[in-house]
Amino acid sequence: MLDNLSAVYAIIDATFRVSTPLILCAMAGLFSERSGIVDISLEGKMLAGAFAAGSVAAVTGSAWLALGVAMLVSIALALVHGFACITHRGNQVVSGLAINILASGLTVVLGIAWFRTGGQTPSLTNSARFMPVELPFAQSLSDVPVFGRFYAEVVSGHSVLVYIALILVGVTWWVVYRTRFGLRLRAVGENPLAVDTAGLSVSRLRYAAVAICGALCGIAGAYLSTSQNASFVREMTAGQGYIALAALIFGKWRPVPAMLACLMFGFLDAVAIRLQGVELPGIGEVPVQLIQALPYILTVVLLAGFIGRAIAPKAVGIPFVKER
């Protein structure tokens, strides 16, 4: 019984660790898409951020500086996306794809040119990483039967970026639903003409949204290379940007449901490793690949309208032409 409980705790603990980059990217995508800019380049921005953080942390030894540079690099890519989509009204999917492919190539090219280790950045010492932090009273409460142990084993002991990600979900909700900027952001994604008529700049709002999106993707990237792992590895995002996009759709472009979708997809990921080769009663052995593909399958089923409806912001993907 006790062993089962620690297994459950270990899975929940792992769920939070693998969900963190998803949550950050989903919030990033939420800002962009709620403002009317389709963003399939979460993946590329996160990858570039991970590379920037891995490089800076390896050279300077400062995790916080690495985080800052990762955010700046990711914001720069986001502004390229904005420049193509907002200023030049280019195809938003094409632009996003270009950024993904560019990031995928450039991180390896620069990695090999700078560090000569097959596209990897040097391993980081613990002082250059975001290490697990122990929350107050975790030790003293760990003897308290249920809650104390849960607090000590699951809630405490994550990297500070995990807590930041969870806090940012609340912040995102507050910004999007409770501030003037959030109201305008949602309006510009639904009916940009109305926003324009009200005398606000559609371009400026969308640039702001895209830049926030870049900053959040940068945090996600820094988490991958300086917290979850101890270096940048080529293609280390491995499709997580797309899973985050799927989670955003699954959460119907709303912060808290999107976070829950991320946690669900993260949970599937955490469980997949443990279910390898295990016979489930009544079902038999479930292929790991099926569990890994489940986020994508579920999203397609949702989009097809078989389990509820996911309705995108009305103006998403349509370039805004200010009438003259």
Partner 1 sequence: MNTSNIELPAWLEIIVLPILNIVMALFFAGLIMLAIGVNPVEAVGIMLKGAFVFKGGLGYTLYYTTNFIFTGLAVAIAFHANLFNIGGEGQAYIGGLGAGLAFLALDSILPGFLLVPIGIMAAALFGAAWAFIPGWLQAYRGSHVVITTIMFNFIASALMVYLLVNVLIKPGQMSPESRYFEDTAWLPQMHEFLGWFGFTVSKTPLNVSFILALLCALLVWVYIWRTRWGYELRTAGFSESAAVYAGIKPKRVIVSAMCISGALAGMVAVNEIMGVHHRLIMNFPAGYGFTGIAVSLMGRNHPVGIIMASLLFGVLYQGGAELAFEIPKITREMVVAIQGLIILFSGALALMLRPWLVRVYLLFKPVKEAVG
The contact set with partner 1 (CB under 8 A) reads: 38, 40, 80, 83-85, 88-95, 97-106, 108-110, 112-114, 119, 239, 242, 245-246, 249, 287, 289-290, 292-293, 296-297, 299-300, 303-305, 312, 324
CA 126 – CA 56 distance, rounded (Å): 14
Nearer to partner 1, 165 or 244 (CB): 244
Beta carbon of residue 225, minimum distance to partner 1 (angstroms, whole number): 18
Beta carbon of residue 284, minimum distance to partner 1 (angstroms, whole number): 13
Nearer to partner 1, 273 or 300 (CB): 300
Nearer to partner 1, 100 or 231 (CB): 100
Nearer to partner 1, 1 or 113 (CB): 113
Beta carbon of residue 315, minimum distance to partner 1 (angstroms, whole number): 14
Tokens of 111: 């990695």
Nearer to partner 1, 114 or 163 (CB): 114
226 Cβ contact partners less than 8 Å away, ≥ 6 residues apart: 53, 54, 57, 63, 66, 67, 124, 128, 129, 130
Beta pairing, strands 279-280 & 132-133: unpaired
- Residue 148: Cβ-neighbour burial (10 angstroms; 0-12, 13-18, 19+): middle
Beta carbon of residue 208, minimum distance to partner 1 (angstroms, whole number): 20
- Residue 201: Cβ-neighbour burial (10 angstroms; 0-12, 13-18, 19+): middle
Beta carbon of residue 299, minimum distance to partner 1 (angstroms, whole number): 6
Beta carbon of residue 306, minimum distance to partner 1 (angstroms, whole number): 8
CB 199: neighbour CB atoms within 10 A? Answer: 6
Tokens of 223: 């988490």
Nearer to partner 1, 13 or 39 (CB): 39
Backbone angles phi, psi at 229, to 5 degrees: -125, 170
Write the DSSP symbol of residue 306.
Answer: S
DSSP H helical ranges for 179-318: 180-190, 192-197, 202-223, 240-250, 255-275, 288-303
Nearer to partner 1, 11 or 102 (CB): 102
279 bridge partner residues: 285
Q: Look at residues 248, 183, 262 and name the one whose alpha carbon lies nearest to residue 40.
A: 248
Q: How many residues does the chain have?
A: 324
DSSP H helical ranges for 35-159: 42-60, 63-82, 92-115, 138-141, 146-150
Beta carbon of residue 98, minimum distance to partner 1 (angstroms, whole number): 4
Beta carbon of residue 313, minimum distance to partner 1 (angstroms, whole number): 13
Nearer to partner 1, 63 or 209 (CB): 209
Q: Look at residues 85, 89, 87, 8 and name the one whose alpha carbon lies nearest to residue 41.
A: 85
